[in-house]
């Protein structure tokens, strides 16, 4: 039996939140090059990435 769409959506959201937390944990040690890579990954993960990039000080 396959998983319902709602459960898929919840799984995607939880995974995205975990990915955001992992990227945010790398920020204190990040240099300019790594910060650019993190910003690019955020853009791929979320349509609302521009707000996160501004909030995290990547721009």
Give pLDDT tens digits for 4-56.
999 999 999 999 999 999 999 999 999 999 999 999 999 999 898 999 999 99
Domain of residue 35: give its range.
31-59
Return the biggest CA–CA distance within the chain. Answer: 47
Q: At 51, list the tokens.
A: 């707000």
Number of domains in the chain: 1
Q: Report residue 59's pLDDT band, with 50, 70 and 90 as the boundaries.
A: confident
Q: How far is CA 49 from the centre of its chain?
A: 7
The per-residue pLDDT for 3 is 79
Residue 19 lies in a domain: no
Q: pTM for this one?
A: 0.81
Is residue 1 a part of any domain in this protein?
Answer: no
More confident residue, 3 or 41: 41
Residue 1's pLDDT band (boundaries 50, 70, 90)?
Answer: low
């Amino acid at each position: 039996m396959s998983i319902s769409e709602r459960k898929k959506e919840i799984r995607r959201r939880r995974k995205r939140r975990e990915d955001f937390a992992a990227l945010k944990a790398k920020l204190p040690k990040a240099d300019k090059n790594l910060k650019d890579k993190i910003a690019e990954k955020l853009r791929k993960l979320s349509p609302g990435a521009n707000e996160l990039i501004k909030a995290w000080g990547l721009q």
